[in-house]
Structure 1
Amino acid sequence: MQKKLYVHRSKHYSIPVVVSDEGIVYIGSFAEPFEKVQALLESKIRFEWIVDANKTQYAVDQLDDYLSGKRETFTCPIDFQWGTSFQQAVWNHLLTIPYGMSTSYSEVAQAIGCRQAVRAVGSAIGKNPLSIIVPCHRVLTKDGRLGGYNGGLEMKRTLLAIEKMTFKR
């Protein structure tokens, strides 16, 4: 059975937001083309693509409130469509990192009971389909540097600035 996916963009930074009838499926990066998002999702799941601002409004509103500094937490339901059990364990742990706080890749590995899997944690974080809402931008290197970010380091810097967080340069 094909899943219906609804897509629209945030007002701030033109971020693509994809939702299903169950919850948010994907949050993209700044001005990410819909074609790139569609290709990624087609490699993961079967779906019918529908551009519909009404179906995505709750998610877009929360994202825009966060990006404008008016929201610290998200209440949107999440619909993880893919990911191994390890990746989902990492993503679920990221949901526990409070607004304005950071952690390290090694602390995430330890928290999920895989203290030697720091690189695997980094890889799982890089595959996070719900960046911002599942706050992978709050994960820094052990010495407080940015590390990587799927949406690009400029996006990570912007998200950390919204939360008034500092990092080593």
Structure 2
Amino acid sequence: MSDYLSGGLPDGDVLAMLSAPVDPETLAQLHRRLEREAEAVGVIDVAYTVIDSPVGRLLLAATGQGLVRVAYASEDHDLVLQALADKLSPRILHSPGRLDQAAREVEEYFERRRRTFDLPLDLSLSRGFRRLVQQHLPEIGYGQTRSYRQVAELVGNPKAVRAVGTACATNPLPVVVPCHRVLRTDGSLGGYIGGLEAKTALLELEAAA
């Protein structure tokens, strides 16, 4: 058994520890130790946490570049983590400390104490036109809305209305990158990765501020 996994303990002691019943607090301590040691030797490529919000539990994930994924419970967090492992790196660890700023800013948003996010973002899950659209979405101000057509004009491709819709529907950073502020030309909601109930809740939250 490697020194990293055993913490320098004799193998017999480690096996005894593993075979003994583990209470939740001990398990939490072991996880925190693993998290610290993984951080120290640089083996975490993607850190994540899950927080409660008025629109359900949200998974927040970050790389060294910044926040890379926000996922609704309806997306199935386990599937989202598997996709991150496939697309980015299998070296993923539940590490709330790495997401403190992101969690705090999201909570402030839902408490109506924050209108813009100051987080570094990692847009590597998107490419080409989708990424271009997602980069421009934060230009739609808090409490404002734009149509898919207006966003297409904003990014310099007025005919790409349907492609804008696809870019919004596949936005990997909902809430933080505000695709919920983009509506159909007739004012109806259109689709949303977190479901129409969540989209309505976000728009009502901002309208009430």
TM-score, structure 2 as length reference: 0.74
Residue in structure 2 matched with residue 55 of structure 1 by the alignment = 98
DSSP 3-state at the match of 1:95: helix
1:110 to 153, 164, 168: 153
Of residues 27-36 and 117-126 in structure 1, the stretch that sits farther from structure 2 once superposed is 27-36
Residue in structure 2 matched with residue 64 of structure 1 by the alignment = 107
How far off is 1:44 after superposition? 2.4
DSSP 3-state at the match of 1:120: helix
Contact 1:93 1:112 in 2 (8 A): yes
How far off is 1:70 after superposition? 1.6
1:4 to 45, 69, 73: 45
CA change 1:70–1:34 in 2 (3 A) is: same
Structure having greater relative contact order (Cα 8 Å, sep ≥ 6): 1
1:140 to 156, 164, 183: 183
How far off is 1:42 after superposition? 3.1
Residue in structure 1 matched with residue 14 of structure 2 by the alignment = none
**Matched letter for residue 64 of structure 1:** E
Alpha-carbon distance in 1 for matches of 2:191, 2:77:
23
Q: In angstroms, what is the RMSD of aligned CA positions?
A: 1.7
**Matched letter for residue 159 of structure 2:** Q
Contact 1:109 1:121 in 2 (8 A): yes
Matching of residue 28 in structure 1 with residue 71 in structure 2: yes
Of residues 14-23 and 3-12 in structure 1, the stretch that sits farther from structure 2 once superposed is 3-12
Report % sequence identity: 34
**Matched letter for residue 131 of structure 2:** Q
Structure 2: 5+ residue stretches without partners: 1-42
- CA deviations 1:48-69 (Å, max 9, x no partner) are 1110111111101101111122
CA change 1:81–1:47 in 2 (3 A) is: farther
Residue in structure 1 matched with residue 136 of structure 2 by the alignment = 93
Bigger radius of gyration among the two = 2
CA change 1:25–1:114 in 2 (3 A) is: same
- CA deviations 1:32-84 (Å, max 9, x no partner) are 54202112323422241110111111101101111122211100000112222
DSSP 3-state at the match of 2:45: strand
How far off is 1:116 after superposition? 0.9
